[in-house]
Amino acid sequence: MLCEEIKDDVFGLLTDESSDVSQKEQMAIVVRYVEKCGVVKESLIGGAHVNNPSSATLKEAIVSLLSNNQLSIDEVRGQGYDGASNMQGKFNRLKALILRDNPSAYYIHCFAHQLQLVTVAVAKIKKTGVKEFYEYLGMVVNTVGASCKRKYMMLELKRKRVEYEILLAEIKSEKD
């Protein structure tokens, strides 16, 4: 259903690979796209076991997974990875291999990976309230994210807040 919604449209790729508990290299592939109602979504489209974490092997796995879901590497408009050398290097790394096939697949460093590492480290400190904060945050995100109506309400509230802050000169508009 997800791939049917994206079909013939552009999307971004977020990819990460690591070894699982049995020491097998696994790669997860997430697509980032805009729904018909204008909401940006990120969804896991699959994972792949890769015998070798080389850039060429990772690219083959991505192309294969996209193809199996009737998606094409030609429609990728963004790619994001962590800082691993096999991912973001300039010449023969995953980023470069995909850019050779599709110059419109711009690379963005995946800071979400760094944020996740920080979150895990903070949670391990076992400070009071950290766990509860993330539980509540998850509930809010799920509640708002489940409804286009709620998303539009949140966007409208944000728009009004920005207009108000511009009037107070707390923030500047592009015209200033």
pLDDT at residue 91, rounded to an integer: 55
Quote the CA–CA distance of 19 and 26 in Å, as a whole number. 6
How many C-beta atoms surround the C-beta of residue 126 within 10 A? Answer: 8
Rounded mean pLDDT, 157-166: 87
Helix (H) or strand (E) holding 25: strand 25-34
Quote the CA–CA distance of 74 and 88 in Å, as a whole number. 19
Q: Are 46 and 62 in contact (CB under 8 A)?
A: no
Average pLDDT over the chain reads 77
pLDDT at residue 28, rounded to an integer: 83
Burial state string for 58-69 with b = 16 or more CB within 10 A and e = fewer than 16: bbebbbebbeeb
pLDDT at residue 147, rounded to an integer: 77
Residue 23 has pLDDT above 80, yes or no: no
What percent of the chain has a predicted confidence (pLDDT) above 70? Answer: 74
pLDDT at residue 121, rounded to an integer: 67
Residue with tokens 């009004």: 160
Residue 60 has pLDDT above 70, yes or no: yes
pLDDT digits (tens, 9 = 90+) for 100-136: 888 888 877 665 556 666 666 666 666 667 677 777 7
Helix (H) or strand (E) holding 27: strand 25-34
Plot region of 141 (φ>0 → left; ψ -120 to 50 → alpha; else → beta): alpha
4-8, 28-32, 102-106, 122-126: least confidently modelled range: 122-126
pLDDT at residue 84, rounded to an integer: 60
Q: Where does the chain hold its CATH 3.30.420 domain(s)?
A: 2-125
Quote the CA–CA distance of 119 and 141 in Å, as a whole number. 17
Tokens of 96: 């470069």
Q: What are phi and psi of 80, to 5 degrees?
A: -135, 130
Q: According to CATH, what is the number of the domain 2-125?
A: 3.30.420
Rounded mean pLDDT, 66-83: 84
pLDDT at residue 96, rounded to an integer: 83
Rounded mean pLDDT, 11-22: 77
